[in-house]
Amino acid sequence: MHRPFVILALGDCNTRGSEALPPGAAFPERLGELLRGDGVEARVHNLGCTMATTREGVARMEREGAALAADLVTVNFGLVDAWVTTLPGIYVPYYPDNPLRKYRRKLLKAVKRRLRNPRIRACVPTGEVVHIDEYTANLRRIVALARGANPGAQIVLWGSAPVAEDAERDRNLCRYDAAMREVAVAEGCDYLDTRALLEAGGPRSELYLDRVHLSARGHELLARAIHELCRGRVPAHG
């Protein structure tokens, strides 16, 4: 029975794409268009979610993603995982979401805003939203779920886009990118060095909408880079 080539994109805001982008400009949709231009009957499932961590990624794969048995899986997390916050042990997931969780997140954010005072912050625990050890374990779990559903799936782990005007956060993000690269090597996945791609891709003002979110041009670079990784490994007619 004929089956389309299924693309599953799992990640955070730079997978989902900012609401400020033109329709269809996020990289998963552009990647689908590029493959269709090659004669591939590509079907895209963009499961990116704003503020998502690898925790949400695992949950989403277990509840939705694995059932798709995708042929190509792109994975990017880190922007939120690597974020240093107060009371990191208290976490309210963004997926699956419900009104109670939304209320609890609102309450937690209000408490954390009060804890930003340097004197208070010195007295409470701080750390990454998702510790790097859990981050790598979650990535491995996502890879295992993807391969369990489709042993022949091509899996692309791509590093996070660098953030501007926050050197400490960006340095921490580099640590998480390095951990992701190690997972890719160990698990036989492709790894895309997004930092290098964007730094060579032109002025930051053209590639970003703000300090964090990629512009249509940034998404286009990402889509073309992943398309290149797929070249020769995708059946010509789906």
Domain definitions of the chain by residue range: 5-83+131-230, 85-128
pLDDT at position 238 is 41
| pLDDT (average), residues 60-72 | 97
Q: What's the pTM value of the predicted model, to 2 decimals?
A: 0.91
Distance from the first to the final alpha carbon of the chain: 12
Dump pLDDT digits (tens) for 159-175: 999 999 889 999 999 99
Residues in CB range of 198: below 8 A, 6 or more apart: 161, 162, 204, 207, 218, 221
Q: Give, in words, the CATH class of 5-83+131-230.
A: alpha beta
Dump pLDDT digits (tens) for 168-206: 999 999 999 999 999 999 999 999 999 999 999 999 999
